[in-house]
Amino acid sequence: MPETSGSTGRTPETHVIDFRAAEQLLEARDPRGAVKLLDQVIAEHPENTAARLLRARAFFAAAQLRPAELEFTIVLEREPDNAFAHFALARTYERQGRPVQARRHFRLAAALDPNPQYLQRADFDA
């Protein structure tokens, strides 16, 4: 009998399938569907930073900015050198009308990764 997680009867392979399906849903512009799948994965594996980052992106795409902020913050607590998470958190703050916090994270993203998009948004000349 395959090993299952908790009482849900779901296997680790099912969680991988759900994660991949959530990626596809997000790409297909169904962020709410992606969040539903990722909720199950994260409930079973709260330490899974990749799933949290994907869920943060899905929340952002669905304009659920407070949950997106929370998830990006959790990712950054675990991976403070994640340039993409800093950039995405900055965009979240920007959409919330919080330019001071946004600027800080745009600059952190650019300092960690000289990606042209990050550098442009960092606005080091200001």
pLDDT for the residue 8: 55
Task: Count the domains in the chain.
Answer: 2
Q: Which residue has the tokens 């849900």?
A: 8
pLDDT for the residue 7: 45
Is residue 70 assigned to a domain? no
Is residue 8 assigned to a domain? yes
pLDDT for the residue 3: 42
Its domain, for residue 122, covers: 80-126
- Rounded to two decimals, the pTM is 0.88
Is residue 85 assigned to a domain? yes
Q: Are residues 54 and 113 in the same domain?
A: no
Residue 24's Cβ-side half-sphere holds a number of Cα atoms within 13 Å equal to 6
Q: Over the stretch 13-34, which tens digit does the pLDDT of each residue have? A: 899 999 999 999 999 999 999 9
Q: Which segments in the chain show pLDDT lower than 50?
A: 1-7
Long-range contacts, 63-72 (Cβ 8 Å, 24+): 63/95, 64/35, 65/92, 65/95, 65/96, 68/92, 69/93, 69/96
pLDDT for the residue 45: 94
* Alpha carbons 114 and 30: distance in angstroms, whole number: 30
Q: Are residues 55 and 11 in the same domain?
A: yes
Q: Are residues 85 and 117 in the same domain?
A: yes
pLDDT for the residue 40: 93
